[in-house]
Amino acid sequence: MFRLRTASLLVCSAIIGLFGFATASKAAPCTNPDALGTSRTVTVDSNELPRIGTMQYRRTLPLDDHEVVITFDDGPLAPYSSRVLDALAAECVKVTYFLVGTMARANPDLVRRIYNAGHVVGTHSHRHPFNMDRMERARVLSEIDSGIAAVTAALGDERALAPFFRVPGLARSQQIETYAASQSLSVWSADEVADDWHRGITAEQIVQRAMARIEAKGHRGVLLLHDIHPATARAVPMLLQRLKAGGYRIVQAVPPGDRPASLPERNPAQLAAGEKKGWPRVVQPPQEAAAKTKVAVTKKPEALRARLASRKTRTVVAATGFNALFNR
């Protein structure tokens, strides 16, 4: 359902090329003739566009009228991430994910399912702290690098990870942005949120707020949602229908360069067994968490492992961090 455009746009002195995937995804072809679909991709070069999203920055993605980029933070988490994936697949919509390191480590099958469905995977720290803007530099670096290492380990191929980073709680700081730039990571804010992390919010309210704010921002924008919430999982199918009815088109933000066509997955029976574990799936005994950390560190990409070793950075798994995440 990709209708690729081979033009390029000049935005704020930055040229961002528009291309399709350099490598075709093995994602199933769209069989729904009435699907919303994904109209085009926008390739985001982190060096050309280091900070994205008008909620916090001057610049955002070069979107035309009635074009929306959908992003999901905080996952993956069964069963909600799976329901969101099903809803996206039903409408042949491709999006960008910002995964949390410990969540990826706990749900590697879901990470690979996200990737193999044709979505882009970036990172959102390791433990999702809400005070990264007040952290000392070493801890900031540890959160960013450990999150990248954990999501890379879940993907199993460092070429599959996009150099896209979103700060937890959008708690940006100069220190975070300077380090991200040094690593050629783009820092993503957003153009619109839909308050889907609020306690008691309904799916209908999420859809209403998303649509109202997209319309208020010139009928376009980068929308931030969270695929770990039941209300969001219920809202996504409705939101896609509203976008389609409103004449909107979906654009997917992708990184430059080649990436693997697909990643190995476990068989469906194994996946189903894993999903039955249900929520919560992140909390682990300290000994088990420490053991998993040790295994994951041995799987880090060589370049990243060398960087981490040179800074003597610790990889930390703390399940307690997710209490704050889920209780927002």
- φ/ψ of residue 101, rounded to 5: -55, -50
Residues binding Zn ion: number (CB under 5 A): 3
Taking Cα atoms as reference points, which of 242, 74, 48, 77 lies closest to residue 167?
74
For the stretch 240-266, what's the b/e string if a residue is b when 16 or more beta carbons lie within 10 angstroms of its beta carbon? Answer: bebbbeeebbbbbbbbbeebbebbeee
> Which CB atom, from 21 or from 197, has the smaller least distance to Zn ion?
197
> Which CB atom, from 57 or from 97, has the smaller least distance to Zn ion?
97
- φ/ψ of residue 317, rounded to 5: -115, 120
Distance CA 210, CA 215 (A): 9
> Which CB atom, from 77 or from 263, has the smaller least distance to Zn ion?
77
Query: Peptide bond before 237: cis, by omega within 30 degrees of 0?
Result: no
**Least separation in angstroms between CB 118 and Zn ion:** 23
> Which CB atom, from 77 or from 239, has the smaller least distance to Zn ion?
77
> Which CB atom, from 73 or from 196, has the smaller least distance to Zn ion?
73
Q: Hunting for tokens 């610790």 — which residue is that?
A: 314
Contact 284, 292 (CB under 8 A): yes
Distance CA 41, CA 7 (A): 11
> Which CB atom, from 67 or from 74, has the smaller least distance to Zn ion?
74
**Least separation in angstroms between CB 169 and Zn ion:** 6
Read off the amino acid at residue 68. V
> Which CB atom, from 2 or from 164, has the smaller least distance to Zn ion?
164
Q: Which two tokens stand for residue 157?
A: 């191929």
**Least separation in angstroms between CB 179 and Zn ion:** 18
**Least separation in angstroms between CB 41 and Zn ion:** 24
Query: Peptide bond before 280: cis, by omega within 30 degrees of 0?
Result: yes
**Least separation in angstroms between CB 72 and Zn ion:** 10
**Least separation in angstroms between CB 166 and Zn ion:** 7
Taking Cα atoms as reference points, which of 218, 210, 216, 169 lies closest to residue 193?
210
Residue numbers 147-176 binding Zn ion by CB under 5 A: 168
**Least separation in angstroms between CB 73 and Zn ion:** 4
Distance CA 118, CA 252 (A): 10
Strands 161-165 and 120-123, by their bridges, are parallel
Question: Would you give the binding string for Zn ion spanning residues 65-94, x where CB under 5 A is met?
Answer: --------xx--------------------
Site membership for Zn ion, residue 109 (CB under 5 A): no
Residues in touch with Zn ion (CB under 5 A):
73-74, 168
